[in-house]
Amino acid sequence: MRRLIALLALLLLPAVAAHAQGDPPGMKGLFLLTDFPSQTVRAGETTTIRVKVNNAGLMPEPLALSLAGVPQGWKVDMLGGGQPVGSVMVGVNQDVTVQLRVEVPKDAKPGSSNIVLSAKGQQFQQATLPLTLTVGTEAPAKLSLKSRLPSLRGTPRSAFEYTLTVGNDSGKDLTVALSAQGPANFQSTFTEGYGSNEISSIPIEAGQTKDVKVKVTPPRDVKAGDYPVLVKVAAEGATAELRVTLQVSGQGRLALSTKDGRLSGEAEIGKASSYTLVVSNDGTAPVEEVEMSGTVPANWKIEFNPKTIASVAPNDKKDVQVSVTPADKAIAGDYVASFRANGRGEQASADFRITVTTSTLWGLVGIGIIAVALLVLLGAVARFGRR
């Protein structure tokens, strides 16, 4: 029984091996294969055509390659492994790839040419491949540019990042130059997919696409509105354009200062001193409900007038009176008080240096004490003097 199984296996093995080659069983012969036997070429350019030489179940032998019907002035080279070749030898059930490099002269006339590639063995093996090459008159569209999100919304401080897909729809590798045209003072930079390097051009293989990011930074003081940016890609005369849009919404920005910019003042112990603060908005949208607050040393009093400002328009200024009363037990010297303005999501603060001074009342008391001492002396002179 065991012997029988071994015999069966021996018989079956070659059949399994033949199937493993992937060829239809029973198909025998020599074939020349190419993807597109009828192609368009352009005058003055070089086109590469890949041809596969396939040997299905024949004895391997050298096959001489030859070309027929090459028009006048055209140059067609047969390359194998990068070198010009004259013949190929293909193993049983195997392929060899040969590249035909077709150089079309610049002055080639439009029209079709038939070129026949043949492979001939020493005995009976022979195969031919007719190729139809048409010289095109019109340059086909070669680049494409697409964006999934061509319109973004943000504030003047946000970065607008558009992901663009650049496609090379032509038959050869291209280095694509990138450029963007926006309103004045808009900065745009290109980066590759997930890279961080700024780029100005990107190589794309034939038929491939690549993702490119363009980041547009509007100037800080830009007004609210829609701004178009024209993104252009160009390579060897082919261009593609795409218009992306920045929807800039305004944003308020608060600043806190004083009228003359001086952030220091004097205050006497126990007495209210008033300073004028200026709340300004140098943003692009109004800031609503600005609330004033402040931090002062312990036991000091602070009051704002007004406490809340309803709205500060862009490029507008509002005066706020702040009254600071140092504590009764405060010690003379310099102190820090910080004032804050809080709008909706916007805030500004300013540190104010307050020099606390003491009352001169006690100085007068001291002079009074000296005067009393002098009076005592004068009394002594009046009582005992001039002896």
Partner 1 sequence: MQRKAAREGSPFTGLGPVFMKEFSDHLSSARMMVLMLFVIVFGAFPVATSLQTLRSAVDPNSFIFLRIFTLEPEQVGISFTAALNFIIPLMAIGLGFDSVNSEFNRRTLSRVLSQPIYRDALLLGKFLGGLATLAVALVALWLIVLGAGLILLGVPPRGVEVARGLSFLLVAIAYGGVWLAIAILFSVIFRSTATSALCALGVWLFFFILWPQLAGALLVGFAPSEIRTVDDYVALQSVGLGLMRLSPGTLFSEAVLGLLAPETRTLGPMLPSQMRGAIMGAPLPFDQSLLLIWPQVTGLIAGMIVVFAAAYVIFQREEVRA
- Residue 30's closest CA among 117, 103, 109, 151? 117
**Lookup: tokens for 175:** 């280095």
263 binds partner 1 (CB under 8 A): no
374 binds partner 1 (CB under 8 A): yes
Concatenated DSSP letters of 176-206 = EEEEEE-STT-EEEEEETT--SEESEEEE-T
264 binds partner 1 (CB under 8 A): no
Distance of closest approach, residue 341 Cβ to partner 1, in angstroms? 20
Choose, by CB under 8 A, the member of 175, 198, 333, 344 that binds partner 1: 333
262 binds partner 1 (CB under 8 A): no
CB closer to partner 1 out of 190 and 300: 300
Choose, by CB under 8 A, the member of 112, 276, 299, 321 that binds partner 1: 299
Of 227-235, 236-244, 315-323, 327-335, the window that binds partner 1 (rule: CB under 8 A) is 327-335
Query: What 3-state class would DSSP assign to 329?
Result: coil
Of 81-89, 161-169, 209-217, 356-364, the window that binds partner 1 (rule: CB under 8 A) is 356-364
Host H or E run for residue 353: strand 347-357
71 binds partner 1 (CB under 8 A): no
328 binds partner 1 (CB under 8 A): no
Choose, by CB under 8 A, the member of 106, 138, 329, 345 that binds partner 1: 329
Q: Total number of residues binding partner 1 (CB under 8 A)?
A: 39
- Residue 101's closest CA among 119, 113, 83? 83
- Alpha-carbon Rg for the chain, nearest whole angstrom, is 45
> What values do phi and psi take at 331, rounded to 5?
-105, 140
CB closer to partner 1 out of 141 and 332: 332
Distance of closest approach, residue 289 Cβ to partner 1, in angstroms? 28
CB closer to partner 1 out of 128 and 338: 338
**Lookup: tokens for 58:** 């024949």
Choose, by CB under 8 A, the member of 4, 6, 20, 370 that binds partner 1: 370
CB closer to partner 1 out of 152 and 302: 302
- Residue 37's closest CA among 125, 107, 131? 131
Distance of closest approach, residue 373 Cβ to partner 1, in angstroms? 4
Distance of closest approach, residue 323 Cβ to partner 1, in angstroms? 17
Concatenated DSSP letters of 118-155 = EEE-SSS-EEEEEEEEEE-SSPPP-EEEEES--EEEE-
Choose, by CB under 8 A, the member of 232, 297, 302, 303 that binds partner 1: 297
CB closer to partner 1 out of 184 and 370: 370
Q: How far is CA 340 from CA 54, 256, 292, 310, 350, in A?
A: 83, 8, 6, 16, 7
CB closer to partner 1 out of 107 and 328: 328
166 binds partner 1 (CB under 8 A): no
How would you label 122-143 residue by residue, b for 16+ Cβ within 10 Å and e otherwise? eeebebebebebebeeeeeebb
Distance of closest approach, residue 282 Cβ to partner 1, in angstroms? 29
- 252 CB-contact burial (10 Å; exposed 0-12 / middle 13-18 / buried 19+): buried
How would you label 226-235 residue by residue, b for 16+ Cβ within 10 Å and e otherwise? ebebebebbb
CB closer to partner 1 out of 64 and 377: 377
C-alpha to C-alpha distance for 252 and 313, rounded to whole angstroms: 8
Residues that bind partner 1 (CB under 8 A): 295-300, 327, 329-337, 353, 355, 357-358, 360, 362-363, 366-367, 369-370, 372-374, 376-377, 380-381, 383-387
